[in-house]
Amino acid sequence: MTTDTLLRAAVAHHQRGALAEADALYAQVLQRDPDNFDALHLSGVVARQRGDAPLALQLIGRAIALDGTRAIAHCNLGAALQDAGRDSDALASYERALALQPDYALALCNRGNALRRLGRPDEALDSYAAALALSPRYPEALCNRALALQELGRHDEALDGFAAALQARPAYAEAINGAAVSLLATGKAEQALQGFDRALQLKPGYAEAWCGRGGMLLYAGQFDAALDSYRHALAARPGYARAQLGLANTLRVLGRHDAAIAAYRQAKELGADAATVDYLLAALGAGAAPAASPPGYVAALFDGYAPRFERHLVGELRYRTPEALAGLLGRHLTRQGGNDVLDLGCGTGLCAPLLRPFARRLEGVDLSRAMLERAAALELYDGLACADIVPFLRDGSGRWDVLVAADVLVYVGDLAALFAAARQAMRADAVFAFSVETLEEGTFALRPSGRYAHSGAYLRELAARHGLALRALEPCTLRQDSGTDVAGLLAVLVRGTD
């Protein structure tokens, strides 16, 4: 059998998905002709399909060293580089492929994927659009474009994109899963769950869908079902950091603290965000508590919580802090209207209707973009900013008459920097009203819930240290947690004239 005949047979096996047979024949070709471009290149493609990115890089790299003019080889090298987590290098390979063949739809789509993974979703959209201009019913480009829209928070457009991908390929598990994520983000929980389940029917080992399902069930309070989903994800993809972190979070909520600690440590070893894991370990007493919750943890927590935030907090947890705090604030304002008011950690805007009557101008600041989108829809704020509250306050020196923080300081332990920034941002006679969870002794403590509690003595000491007069410090019930009242304090501080 000639070398060409062997190569054609190998390609035929490869096209049928018989990777072992194809690989064996490619190896025979390379025994006869070690510098055979096609056998090297396609052996590398087989290696990538079998999950061996290092071997794929070696083989395709050798092929390109022999002939660097083949766009397809640069495109496949880019895919192997992405598998290896080298997204910048992958982008460069796709650019080389497109320099050789500008009308290469696959390279344009893959270029979009690399840009998206590099945090450049707007540029990714342009690359997908170019791919779709060449091939309008290209399922992967349609689906990946929808994923970029999803990352930009444009969920309605993303859903249209996933629908278009499913028209081009009806049994497309990735598009169904993507649609489920956007359905959940727009508050359509039941449809989202159906989507995750449908994706798993098509692709039972789809770890991302198991994780999406697990996260949804965890937020819904179906803890045992969430645990089961995360275990399925780990069975499908051992070492999957996202699934391991979800498993640890569920064990923590279930009160299985020793198992949660072990799971968090394993999640950190697998590459989960170290700051988040260390924080949650500290909440379980397995490490030193930081001064505040990591901003990335808070943003991710509330981005995921946004679709059901108000229904869960008000309906299920009997959350009444905004009403209680606004009532106390009203009793201590010297001017009942015409104030410049800042809603710190405004979330979806639960405080906005209560603060609007006090305000000439009402602004909000929050770390969660998903929360801010819902707050904007109320059309009650004159301005909204996605930022950490302490730097935001520092940038607004002497600007505010009223600061309000309802259920926000539970994510800040050491309040000294916040009090200093608040005083700097307040005008003379301005008011700062906030809530905390009650700590009976000490200064502050991080609880297993992942929230901080503060003592009244600590608040008094901080107020005095920062030149803020304590006008009110009243006990209250903030909400319920697992059917138990959560005790809190409502405080009103005033900045006098210097």
- DSSP-assigned states of every residue in 159-176: HHHHHHHHHHSTT-HHHH
Per-residue pLDDT of the chain (498 residues; tens, 9 = 90+): 788 898 899 889 999 999 999 889 989 989 999 999 999 999 999 999 999 999 999 999 999 999 999 999 999 999 999 999 999 999 999 999 999 999 999 999 999 999 999 999 999 999 999 999 999 999 999 999 999 999 998 999 999 999 999 999 999 999 999 999 999 988 888 999 999 999 999 999 999 999 999 999 988 889 999 999 999 999 999 999 999 999 999 999 999 999 999 999 999 999 999 999 999 999 999 999 999 999 888 888 877 655 554 454 444 445 688 898 999 998 988 877 889 999 999 998 989 999 999 999 999 999 988 889 889 999 999 999 999 999 999 987 778 999 999 999 999 999 999 999 999 999 999 999 999 999 999 999 999 989 999 999 999 999 999 999 999 999 988 877 766 788 999 999 999 765
The Cβ-side half-sphere exposure at 64, using a 13 Å CA radius, reads 19
Helix (H) or strand (E) holding 460: helix 456-465
The CATH architecture one would assign to domain 302-495 is 3-Layer(aba) Sandwich (3.40)
Read off the amino acid at residue 445: A
Question: Per-residue pLDDT tens for 265-319?
Answer: 999 999 999 999 999 999 999 999 999 999 888 888 877 655 554 454 444 445 6
Q: At what angle do helices 105-117 and 71-83 cross, to 10 degrees?
A: 30
Query: What is the maximum span of the chain, computed from C-alpha positions, in angstroms?
Result: 96
> Which are the contacts of 309, defined by CB distance < 8 A and separation ≥ 6?
302, 347, 348, 371, 374
Read off the amino acid at residue 179: A
| DSSP-based three-state secondary structure for 385 | strand
Helices and strands in the chain: count of H runs, count of E runs: 25, 9
Question: CA 119 → CA 112, 152, 167, distances in Å?
Answer: 11, 10, 28
Question: Per-residue pLDDT tens for 57-98?
Answer: 999 999 999 999 999 999 999 999 999 999 999 999 999 999
The encoded tokens of residue 376 equal: 């904007």
Enter the DSSP assignment of 42.
Answer: H
The encoded tokens of residue 412 equal: 């800040």
CA gap 32, 429 in Å, rounded: 88
pTM (2 decimals)?
Answer: 0.84
Residue 498: the pLDDT is 57
Q: What is the distance, to the nearest Å, from the Cα of residue 403 to the centroid of all Cα atoms in its chain?
A: 28
β-pairing verdict for 339-344 and 400-405: parallel
In the chain, what are the domain boundaries?
302-495
